[in-house]
């Protein structure tokens, strides 16, 4: 049966004494999305995930998984990692995952498949204590996937990893999302959310201050205004520039959208080679950080 929302949250609220950890959260996450909860440490991300998984009780509000009240049946359809990887140090990957299967009442049939998916199959017989932090995180993801869940929840999945480990986890998240699973991840890293998520929400001091689509709201493309008295030649030539995305007509020129990393000087050099004379060239690119700061400033 098709569900309209994998997760629907209404007025979810959590107090710890006088401290409000999460304030009246309303949010919907649809099937197939990779949704990033973005915010600094202490913004309410982990508190939110803990309530959604039944680890922490909400002070008020409600939520549904798969259009049904949260309960044992829904939790069976969710895989999650909320803490750092925790396995038996002297056991290898296969033995550790067999223990996870016994705890969850699962057969061993998916162990080999999941080790291959996370890139640990060749190291399956090595003890957990010999793994790098990134490998340990990948084994934790494999354990969360053993029941073939429809939803995967990850709390700060690249926290503490070196650049290679971060890249490996990002690639793994993208690969898992391509299999059709819905992924919800919490992160304080803007770059991480921009690279792996389709949608995101920003939490600050327990309040959801913004949510939307990453491609629309965190646009990392380059925007230029180019003026010329030879608009037809300009419009024809720009189509052949490497990195061209789109353009639209503006007064006395074009507003041009290019891929990340392209520069006004590179475009100018290209147009000179095409014999197009320009009289105006301005870069309007906003960095991701600038866009994020605008979101925060708008909600001060």
Q: d(Cα 111, Cα 143) in Å, to the nearest integer?
A: 8
Q: Which helix (H) or strand (E) holds 248?
A: strand 244-250
Q: What are phi and psi of 144, to 5 degrees?
A: -70, -20
**In the prediction, which pLDDT does 283 show?**
84
Domains of the chain: 7-217 (3.40.50.300), 222-284 (3.30.70.100)
**In the prediction, which pLDDT does 261 show?**
82
- Summarize pLDDT for 267-287 with one digit per residue, the tens: 999 999 999 999 989 887 566
CA distances from 226 to 11, 248, 275, 280 (A): 47, 11, 15, 5
Residue 182: strand pairing partners: 151
**In the prediction, which pLDDT does 289 show?**
67
**In the prediction, which pLDDT does 101 show?**
97
Q: Which residues neighbour 224 within 8 Å (Cβ) at sequence distance 6 or greater?
A: 255, 256, 258, 264, 267, 281, 282, 283, 284, 285
Residue 193: strand pairing partners: none
Residues in the chain predicted with pLDDT less than 50, given as ranges, are none
**In the prediction, which pLDDT does 40 show?**
86
**In the prediction, which pLDDT does 6 show?**
95
Place of tokens 């429809």: 150
**In the prediction, which pLDDT does 118 show?**
96
pTM over 0.85: no
């Amino acid at each position: 049966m098709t569900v309209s929302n994998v997760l629907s949250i209404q007025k979810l609220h959590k107090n710890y004494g006088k401290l409000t950890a999460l304030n009246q959260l309303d949010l919907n996450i649809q099937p197939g999305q990779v949704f990033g909860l973005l915010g600094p440490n202490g913004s309410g991300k982990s508190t939110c995930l803990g309530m959604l998984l039944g680890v922490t009780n909400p002070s008020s509000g409600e939520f549904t998984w798969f259009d049904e009240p949260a309960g044992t049946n829904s939790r069976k359809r969710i895989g999650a990692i909320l803490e750092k990887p925790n396995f038996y140090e002297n056991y290898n990957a296969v033995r550790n995952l067999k223990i996870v299967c016994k705890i969850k009442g699962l057969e061993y049939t998916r162990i080999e498949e999941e080790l291959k998916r996370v890139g640990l199959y060749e190291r399956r017989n090595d003890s957990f204590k010999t793994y790098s932090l990134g490998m340990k995180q990948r084994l934790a993801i494999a354990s969360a996937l053993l029941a073939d869940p429809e939803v995967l929840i990850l709390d700060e999945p690249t926290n503490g990893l070196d650049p290679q480990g971060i890249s490996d986890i990002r690639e793994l998240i993208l690969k898992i999302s391509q299999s059709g699973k819905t992924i919800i991840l919490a992160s304080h890293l803007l770059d991480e959310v921009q690279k792996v998520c389709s949608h995101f929400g920003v939490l600050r001091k327990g309040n959801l201050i913004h949510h939307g689509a990453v491609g629309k709201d965190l646009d990392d493309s380059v925007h230029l205004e180019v003026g010329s008295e030879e608009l037809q030649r300009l419009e024809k030539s720009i189509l052949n520039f490497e990195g061209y995305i789109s353009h639209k007509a503006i007064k006395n020129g074009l507003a041009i959208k290019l891929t990340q990393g392209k520069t006004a000087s590179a475009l100018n050099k290209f147009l000179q080679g095409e014999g197009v004379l320009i009289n105006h060239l301005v870069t309007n690119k906003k960095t991701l950080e600038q866009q994020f700061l605008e979101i925060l400033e708008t909600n001060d």
